[in-house]
Each structure stands twice: as C-alpha cells, then as structure tokens.
Chain A
Amino acid sequence: MADSPRVALFVTCLVDLFRPSVGWAAVALLEAAGCRVEVPEPQVCCGQPAFNSGDRRTTEDLARQLIPALEPFDYVVAPSGSCAGMLRRHFPELFEGDPAWSARARAVAAKSFELVSFLVEVRGMRVPPGRFSGRVTYHDSCSGLRELGIKDQPRRLLRAMSGLELIEMEGCEVCCGFGGTFCVKYPEISTKMVDDKAARAEASGAELLLAGDLGCLMNIAGRLARRGSNMQVRHVAEVLAGRLDAPPIAQSRG
C-alpha cells in the first residue's frame, strides 16, 4: 500500500454528468502521485441534495448504497470539498448510534479525502505534473475550506508551477451563492452573491478563476458569462494536471 495505494475515485455527480474532463484530470493526478485508480460502482451521489433538503431517509439509503462500494479501497478521493466533506464529516453523523452502520461509515470517512489535500498531505506532492502560464485566482469553496481545512494545499501546488501567477481576489473565502438547491430556491439572493463574486474575480486582474468544486464553478462561470466577461473558469485539477484541452466551463470550443 505504501508504494501504490488502491484509490477509489468518487467522481461526484456533477463531474460525472457535466465535466468528465475533471474526472480524467483527477485520474492523471492520482496516477502521477503513484496511486492505482479505480472507479467503483455503484456510485451515484453522496446524498447532499437530500441531506440538505432535510430528507434524512433518502440520505441514509444513498449512503448505505455507496459505503459498501468504497470499503475495499485504501483511500476514497473526490475532486470536491463538498462531497468529500459529506463522506468525511457527515456520514459518521448520519449513523451515530446505529450499531450496524456506524463503524462502517466511520471507517469510510477516515479514508476519504478531497483530491488536492490528498495529493499534498497524503501523497506528499510538491510539484504538480501540469504546465500553465498566466494569471489565476483561487476561490475557496465553503465546505472544503471550513469542513476540511483546504486553503493552503491548492495554493502551494499552484505556486509551484512556473509561469503561473496566483493573484488573490478580495473575499476569496466568501460563499459564491451556489449552496446546492439554494441557488434555485432563493435565486434573487444567490444572484446577488454570485454577482459580487464575479465582480471581485474580474477586479483581481486574473484571467482564469479556479476552485475545487464544480458546483461553485458552474455558478461563477454561469454568472461571468452572463455578465459578458472574458474571464475563464476551470476546476483546479485541470490546471494541476495540465489537461486544458476541454474548453473552459460555459465556453465554446475555439
């Protein structure tokens, strides 16, 4: 295991459906870090839409569906702080006091990680394999930042890329207003929040915005595009892996 751990990629439903290129970037990064990557089935969703809508039963059912698929692996890695936070922090909470599932949920939680923090903290990555030149800014997604303490890890890897200039925008830790179903339940407030985020991103002078969660990225990219901005938006894994062949989020080919 020390040499090449068996890693389950929990690709997350948004990456699976909307941006598979992020999944491939994650595979490339994990393999560059010496991992054997598999994509176990069945994996659908970590259950957050149900969990945050107060539908505890569906959440537990989905967790019971997912946990057995992840158990055989040394690690579970997700290219999302939000979904990794669900596995790490909330799965054990869900089954507190449940004799059959509590230990299993805790065991899966203990070996589940968000991609970039896994690369840096568990695999000791110092220099990512990708190459990129240009000015980028990094948005700290809420769950990754506050549930998992992801702040420095992506910045450390980005700074190690020669040619990449990292510019901090004002309020990089402020929520973008996505919040899962929040963005459609309260579109007016969500719009105000993402508009503030887009304005601050543009004001930073960066040409590319990165983050570790596709939900936030689709929200920010969607607003930037509606504002008529040229700013590009990508998942941080794409830049770290140097996989930039897919057009930026919400942009067309060519």
Chain B
Amino acid sequence: MEPLSLAFRERAARALHDPVLATAMQRLERGWQAARARAAADLPEFEALRDAAVAIKDHVLANLDLYLEEFERRFTAAGGVIHWARDAAEARAIILDICRRAKARTVTKSKSMVAEEIGLNAYLEAQGLRVIETDLGEYIIQLAGDVPSHLVGPAVHMTRERIAELFAKAHGGPPKQDSAALVAEARQVLRQRYLEADVGITGANFLIAETGSIVTVTNEGNAELTQGLPKVHIALTGIEKIVPTVAEAFVFLRLLARSATGQEFSAYTTFLTGPKREDERDGPQEMHLVLLDNGRSRMLGGPFREMLRCIRCGACMNHCPVYLAAGGHAYGWVYVGPMGSVLTPHFVGIDKSWPLPNASTFCGRCEEVCPVRIPLPKLMRLWREEAHKRGLAPPAARVGLTLWAFFARRPALYRLATRLAMAALGALGRRRGRFSRLPFASGWTVSREFPAPQGPTFTAQWRAARGAKG
C-alpha cells in the first residue's frame, strides 16, 4: 500500500465533512471508551496487570533472541515449520511459495494487521489466487475495495446501509435492513468458502515460548475455521509477539479484550500447538509460521523499543481526540491513530509520514489507557526530532520557530520586542478585547477569535511595581 500520510491534513479536513464518519466516530467514542472504563474499574487488579504486562514485555524484548530460539525449538518439535522473513517482500514470497506447493486456488484469511503491513492480499491476488477475508469487518472492507480504518474494527467507518448495499451487490437479493440478517448472510456465504479453501492464513496475537503454541483471539470464531478446515495453515506475525509462558499469556489476554472493547475476554481464544496429530480428527496437515522482522529488530536496538510492547488493542485510537475527529483513513497507511503515528514512519520512512507524529496535541490519553504503558507522546516527539533534523516541516513552521527561538535566546531583546508588540496589540484590541482577523494567525482566526493582550506585560508591570530582582 502506497502511503498517503503526507496528505494527512487534507484527508482529515475532508473527513471532517463526512457525516457518516462523524456518526461512526461518535459511536466509537461513546461505546468503547465507556466500555473500557467499566472493564478497567470492574477488575481490581487491572493496574497491577498493566504493570505486570510491561515487565513481561520488557523482559522478553531484552532477551528476544533466546525466546525466539526456544519458541522455534518447541514449535518445530510440535510439527510446525517456521519461516523467518526479513522484510515484507520475503514474507510475501514465502507465503506464495507455500500456497503454490499446496496447489492452492482459494485462500481464506482471518484478520491480520501484519498481512496488511506486507500488502499480502493484493500480492496473492495478482498471482492468481482467490483470497477471502473471513473476519466480518475485513470481509466488508474487501467487498468495498477499501482498507481498514481501525485496528480492531476495520469497518468501523461504515454504516449498516452501506454494508447492506455491498452485500446485495455481492450476494444477490434485496438489501437486508437489520444487522442480524446481515451477519447471518455473511456467515452463510463464508461457511462455503471455508470448505473450499486450500490454505488458511491467520495472524497470531501471541507466541508462547515454553510450548511453541500460537494464540489467536477473535470474537467470531473465524480464526478457528480458517486454520482448522483447509489442509494447510499459515500463521503470520511479527517477532515481538513472544511471551515466555502460558501463564504470562493470560496476563495479556486479560488486558487485551478489556482495553479493546471492554469485554472481559474475547469470545474465541485458541491455543494452537502444531498441525493435526495422527490420533486427531481435526486440524490442518501442515502448519507454517512466518515470523516477520520488517524493521522490528532495528526498533529493538533503538529509542523506539517500547513500541514493540504493543498488543494491537486499539485503545490508543479509541481515546484519541485527533483520531476520533479525522478517522483512520486520514492517516494514509495501515496503522492508524497514535500507535500508527509512531509505527508508520518506521515502515514507510519519516519523509513520507512526518505529518503523523505531528498530528497530536500530546494530550496524553493514549498513554493513559495503553495496557502496556507505551509512552506514545514521547515516541511521537522522537519522530518530530527526526523530522526537524531533516528539515521536513513546512517552511512557514520552520521560519516561525527560528524567529521565535532567535528572540527567546536573547531575553533582553525579547523583553523589549514583546513589550512593544503587546502594547501595540493591546491598544488595537482594547475596545473589543479580541481580534477576528490577524496577519500570520489565520490558522487560529479561521474559527476562533484571538484574545487581545491586556497591554503591558507582566514582567514590565512587576519591575515597575516591585523593582527588578534576581
């Protein structure tokens, strides 16, 4: 997916005029924020769990090589085949190769953000494979030729009416009006596809080192059908998803659903350890795991390491006023909201994404609700530093900052200049107490009055009243 993040401001401005999106975002804000707050309040040890999760992740990240090796041993011993992919192209080629060897024509897929990250669907389709998304949201997105706008609810920007139209067009028949009928229709269509599929591709929420298991979490049970019915199962995930033990996986499972949707637990949580064994009736004959680096090991060794704690719950975007105003598509690439503003520059380059880490008021709500306490504002600021070093900000912003810094570094000159400027501005604005228009401040005055200064600066008044000290 070609990143469109440089156009964030324009895309966001357009999104602000979309009444459908506004309704969807309001629903998200009212529904999921309240649900998460309730879930957190109902669990006395919620904060302690967050601390435990941070400690586990930090420990794993500090010993990632060891845990990956242990996981590989166990996963292989259980009969799985592991594939290490350095980047997106390698991961795509590995997956295509497995599909080819399985003589696959139809591939079912449960939701995977890593698959979005590597642009898997478009690639497989270009190679002649039929790819069917089985997560309801992803299925809708696929029918619409759209991209996800949220980590957990990829079709969160759509309305029921639009979905009914899409279904009618794809499945035939008149558009259904109520949600239950739409879900039933999707389920019926997808059931057949599960049976037709030669290969099933899933993501993996966690990898457990001590058992070599992968863990999938869904609310629809589609991961189970995707991996269990076809002959070949391919799981695809990032190398940071390791947890040491089953017990520790539960620390994250208890946090994940609560942080994401406010559920105590997701409806379907499956631990998969190897393909079908001889004495088993169900399961794939082959189980592959594609472990993707794609810049993650570079992140591990640098100042962005904390970002690798992310468990993709979406709480940061559910609570982000910028995301809730602009919607996910404004971000212009796969990962959206605050976590996307930190991750996207890693994947597409800061020169193609610098508006994203700048699109934050640093209000701090993302960090406040992040189950693994990622300091998202701090990490966005690091990207701003990188963008500043490379001179990526627009000229007006750079000139403004340089001019301000020139005065701020020279206190005596600053005093004189501000005294004169405020006296003038104060006199001009005295009658109304505000300005409706000001040169160089159109970004403000386009929608707000600009409060007039009172006139003499505080420091000047203080000096006159109490004399200079210090």
Contacts and interface: CB of A to CB of B under 8 A. Distances in A.
A250 B360 contact: no
A219 B363 CA distance: 15
Contacts of B454: 18-21, 246
Contact of B361 (A18, A173, A178, A250): A178
Contacts of A187: 443-444, 446-447
A251 B447 contact: no
Interface of chain A: mostly helix, strand, loop or mixed: helix
Contacts of A247: 433
Contacts of A11: 458-459
Contact of B393 (A53, A62, A189): A53
Contacts of A188: 9, 12-13, 16
Nearest to A246: B454
A58 interface: yes
Given A39-B469, A191-B448, A250-B451, A58 B409 contact: yes
B386 A54 contact: yes
Contacts of B430: 252-253
A146 B388 contact: no
Interface in A230-254: 246-247, 249-253
Interface string B357-373: 01111111101100000
Given A55-B388, A175-B365, A218 B451 contact: yes
Contact of A186 (B9, B385, B450, B457): B9
A194 B448 CA distance: 9
Given A20-B461, A179-B361, A39 B381 contact: no
B321 A54 contact: no
A34 interface: no
A146 B368 contact: yes
In which size bucket is the chain A interface?
Answer: 35 or more
Interface stretch (A40-48, A102-110, A157-165): A40-48
B359 A189 contact: yes
Contacts, number: 214
Given A54-B381, A246-B454, A143 B448 contact: no
A115 B466 CA distance: 21
Interface string A128-171: 00000000000000110111000000000000000000000000
Contact of A223 (B326, B361, B405, B447): B447
B84 interface: no
B409 A226 contact: no
A62 B443 contact: no
A193 interface: yes
Contact of A23 (B16, B367, B462): B462
Interface in A2-44: 8, 11, 15-21, 23-24, 38-44
5 contacts: A24-B461, A50-B408, A174-B321, A191-B447, A218-B450
A-B pairs with the 5 shortest C-beta distances? A179-B361, A54-B384, A40-B470, A222-B448, A184-B443
Interface of B: 9, 12-13, 16, 321-322, 325-326, 358-365, 367-368, 381, 383-389, 393, 397, 401, 404-405, 407-409, 411-412, 414, 418, 422, 430-434, 436, 441, 443-444, 446-454, 456-459, 461-462, 466, 468-470
Given A142-B361, A189-B325, 16 more contacts: A16-B459, A40-B469, A43-B411, A49-B401, A50-B404, A52-B384, A54-B387, A54-B389, A56-B385, A145-B364, A179-B363, A185-B443, A187-B447, A189-B322, A192-B16, A252-B433
